[in-house]
Amino acid sequence: MSVLDNIKISVEPMRSVGLTENALPLLHEIRHALIKFVETSEPTTLDLQAIPFGPGDEEKLLSFLGVGEVSAALNALGESRVFETGYPGVWVVEHRNTEQGRVALQIEVTDVPAILRTQSADLHDSIALIGDTLQTE
* 18 vs 137: CA distance, rounded Å: 63
| pLDDT at position 55 | 83
* 37 vs 89: CA distance, rounded Å: 9
Q: What is the CA radius of gyration of the chain?
A: 22
Give percent above pLDDT 90 in the chain: 61
Predicted confidence (pLDDT) per residue in 70-91, tens digit: 999 999 888 999 999 999 999 9
Decide the pairing of beta strands 102-109 and 90-96: antiparallel
Q: What are phi and psi of 28, to 5 degrees?
A: -65, -40
CATH of domain 18-136: 3.30.1370.140
* 120 vs 42: CA distance, rounded Å: 19
Q: What are phi and psi of 37, to 5 degrees?
A: -65, -40
Residue type, 4: L
Q: What are phi and psi of 38, to 5 degrees?
A: -60, -40
Nearest by Cα to 80 from 121, 111, 122, 116: 116
Predicted confidence (pLDDT) per residue in 35-74, tens digit: 999 999 999 999 999 988 888 889 989 999 999 999 999 9
Output the pTM of the full model. Answer: 0.77
Nearest by Cα to 94 from 45, 57, 31: 45
For the ranges 11-15, 57-61, 106-110, the maximum mean pLDDT occurs at: 106-110
Quickly state the pLDDT bin for 10 (edges 50, 70, 90).
low
State the sign of the Cα–Cα–Cα–Cα dihedral 28, 91, 83, 56. Answer: negative
| pLDDT at position 9 | 59
